[in-house]
């Protein structure tokens, strides 16, 4: 803020009429003036109009000064505002296996004391996530607390510290609907897990502990743009839909999705829909995915974020029946994982990035894909951007041994799969 300079008012300097000094022994007087009274009167008469004019100018100047002081200051024209821009990133399934829990236990200090530190797993990509205004992740396993403890395949449970690690990494949108959402029943999926996430600074969707909670939209605002997150899964392992309370897990259902999208569009500028769908280990969109993607586009959804296949899938634009454009990422792949059978395709992941730009409407710009690698040397775990992944790291990864040049394979496969449907999205690698 500019400093205001206080004006200083300077008093006019008054000069006295000079007086000739008196000669020695004579009074200081001007007797000659007494001898010429007519001339003195003439000078006074000549000066009178000048005095009158000066007085008039003084009065006019004062009046103008008062008017200027009283007149309102001209309004400063408002600054021209440009479009609002929000940067966004999204990653796939955070699926921590039991070995990753053991690693987090060791990172927290004394093992077996119930404390876990998952933050080193995300350290290599933290800067990429935190650089975005908004970041999404699918937490595929629920947080069931210490009563259950860390569990791996086939019935997963992750300790509460995972929520802290994801928040620390920069994520503020979390989806939870997956086939593992009900691995440990209502306590894990709804009661404890939801209470943990409700205490974190995130917008959370996909599972709920009550009907009221399920009806609440996951909304978040950035730079004047409001985002809504909806999250659905094709099913849950070991249960039929009718076995669960209606509110517990959000299942893929056309009528439910249509109603949710309608509510979301009334309250948000941008509608994001996360879909846990597709065929495992298939690096292309299956027929069901294609049909639902077009259905979502016809509803006016802005972005579809796919997960579940454990591999990456194509990214494309679809046109809805209203003429809108919908960005669809059929599968972002895993985000973290440790499959028992190591295959290079399961270690390749992706981060979708774009900008949401709001002028009168909201448009999507600068869509790009950053390949990620789930790294392990057998005991430690970390997620890297492919462009930061070194040959030395690749040589230590048991899951990449099937390829003679694994980094070249990861690069080529990322490009081939992401743009398989004819789009030409930039690949940041």
Question: Domain holding 106: CATH number?
Answer: 3.60.21.10
Comparison of pLDDT for 355 and 10, the residue scoring more: 355
CB under 8 Å to 381, separation ≥6 — which residues?
Answer: 99, 100, 103, 121, 336, 338, 374, 375
Pairwise CA distance, residues 11 & 365, whole Å: 64
Q: Is residue 334 part of a domain?
A: yes
Rounded to whole angstroms, the Cα distance separating 427 from 429 reads 6
Domain that holds residue 341: 84-419
Give the residue-averaged pLDDT of 257-280. Answer: 99
Average pLDDT, the chain: 87
Domain assignment of residue 373, yes or no? yes
**Quick one: average pLDDT of 334-348?**
95
Reported as a single tens digit per residue, the pLDDT across 94-138 is: 999 999 999 999 999 999 999 999 999 999 999 999 999 999 999
Residue 44: inside a domain, yes or no? no
Which of 24-38, 340-354, 391-405 shows the lowest mean pLDDT across its residues?
Answer: 24-38
Share of the chain above pLDDT 90, in %: 76
What percent of the chain stands above pLDDT 70? 81
Here the tokens at position 81 are: 């505002």
- DSSP-derived letter for residue 312 is B
Q: Is the pLDDT of residue 349 over 80?
A: yes
- Let me know if residue 53 belongs to a domain: no
DSSP state of 422: S
* Residue that has been written with the tokens 């595929």 in this structure: 140
CB-based contacts of 403, cutoff 8 Å, min separation 6? 344, 409
Among 325, 427, 369, 337, residue whose Cα is nearest residue 89: 369
Backbone φ, ψ for residue 102 (5° rounding): -65, -40
* Residue 75, pLDDT score: 63
Instruction: Answer whether residue 180 is part of any domain.
Output: yes
Tracing tokens 């009178």 back to the chain, one arrives at 48
- Count of positions (residues) in the chain: 429
pLDDT the model gives residue 6: 39
Note the pLDDT of residue 146.
85
Q: Name the more confident of 40 and 72.
A: 72
Rounded Cα–Cα distance for residues 311 and 333 (Å): 4
Q: Give strand pairing partners of 157.
A: 151
Looking at the 3D structure of the chain, how many domains does it have? 1
**407 located within any domain:** yes
Q: What is the pLDDT of residue 73?
A: 55
Task: Strands of 237-293 (E only): list them.
Answer: 270-276
How many other C-beta atoms are found inside a 10 Å radius of the C-beta of residue 61?
10
The residue assigned the tokens 């300079």 is 5
Helix 287-299, helix 254-267: angle, nearest 10: 40
Residue 285 has pLDDT above 60, yes or no: yes
Question: Over the stretch 166-176, which tens digit does the pLDDT of each residue have?
Answer: 999 999 999 99
> Would residue 187 count as lying in a domain?
yes
Query: For 259-277, what is the mean pLDDT?
Result: 99
Confidence at residue 342, expressed as pLDDT on a 0 to 100 scale: 87
What would the two tokens of residue 256 be? 């439910």
Domain assignment present for 38: no
Residues facing 81 on adjacent strands = none
Indicate the pairing of strand 325-329 with strand 303-307.
parallel
Rg (CA), the chain: 38
Looking at residue 79, its pLDDT comes to: 53
Long-range residue pairs from 23-28, CB within 8 A, at least 24 positions apart, any chain? none
User: What's the pLDDT tens digit per position in 17-67?
Assistant: 333 333 334 333 433 444 444 434 444 445 455 445 455 545 445 544 544
Tokens 């998952």 found at: 118
CA-closest candidate to residue 191, choices 245, 260, 257: 245
């Amino acid at each position: 803020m500019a400093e205001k300079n206080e004006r200083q008012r300077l008093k006019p300097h008054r000069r006295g009429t000079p007086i000739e000094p008196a000669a020695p022994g004579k009074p200081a007087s001007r007797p000659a003036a007494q001898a010429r009274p007519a001339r003195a009167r003439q000078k006074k008469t000549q000066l009178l109009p000048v005095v009158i004019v000066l007085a008039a100018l003084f009065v006019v100047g004062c009046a103008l000064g008062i008017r200027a002081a009283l007149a309102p200051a001209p309004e400063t024209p408002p600054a021209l505002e440009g479009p609002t821009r929000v940067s966004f990133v999204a990653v796939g399934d955070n699926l921590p296996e039991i070995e990753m829990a053991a690693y987090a236990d060791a990172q927290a200090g004394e093992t077996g004391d119930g404390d876990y530190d998952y933050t080193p797993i995300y350290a290599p990509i933290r800067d990429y996530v935190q650089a975005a205004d908004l970041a999404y992740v699918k937490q595929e396993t629920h947080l069931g607390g210490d009563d259950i403890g860390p569990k791996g395949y086939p019935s997963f449970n992750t300790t509460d510290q995972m929520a802290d690690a994801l928040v620390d990494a920069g994520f503020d949108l979390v989806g939870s609907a997956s086939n593992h959402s009900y691995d440990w029943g209502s306590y894990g999926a709804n009661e404890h897990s939801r209470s943990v996430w409700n205490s974190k600074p995130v917008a959370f969707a996909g599972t709920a502990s009550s009907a009221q909670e399920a009806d609440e939209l996951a909304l978040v605002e950035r730079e004047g743009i409001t985002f809504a997150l909806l999250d659905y899964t094709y099913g849950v392992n070991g249960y039929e839909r009718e076995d669960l309370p209606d509110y517990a897990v959000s299942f893929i259902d056309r009528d439910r999705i249509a109603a949710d999208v309608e509510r979301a569009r009334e309250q948000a500028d941008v509608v994001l829909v996360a879909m846990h769908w597709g065929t495992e280990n298939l690096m292309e969109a299956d027929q069901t995915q294609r049909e639902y993607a077009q259905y979502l586009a016809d509803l006016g959804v802005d972005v579809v974020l796919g997960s579940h296949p454990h591999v990456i899938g194509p990214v494309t634009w679809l046109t809805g029946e209203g003429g809108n454009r919908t960005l669809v990422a059929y599968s972002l792949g895993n985000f973290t994982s440790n499959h028992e059978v190591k295959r290079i395709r399961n270690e390749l992941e992706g981060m979708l990035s774009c900008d949401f730009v709001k002028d009168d409407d909201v448009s999507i710009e600068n869509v790009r894909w950053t390949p990620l690698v789930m790294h392990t040397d057998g005991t430690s775990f970390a997620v890297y951007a492919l462009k930061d992944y070194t040959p030395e790291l690749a040589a230590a990864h048991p899951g990449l041994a099937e390829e003679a040049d694994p980094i070249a394979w990861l690069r080529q496969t990322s490009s081939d799969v992401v743009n398989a449907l004819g789009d030409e999205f930039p690949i940041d690698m």
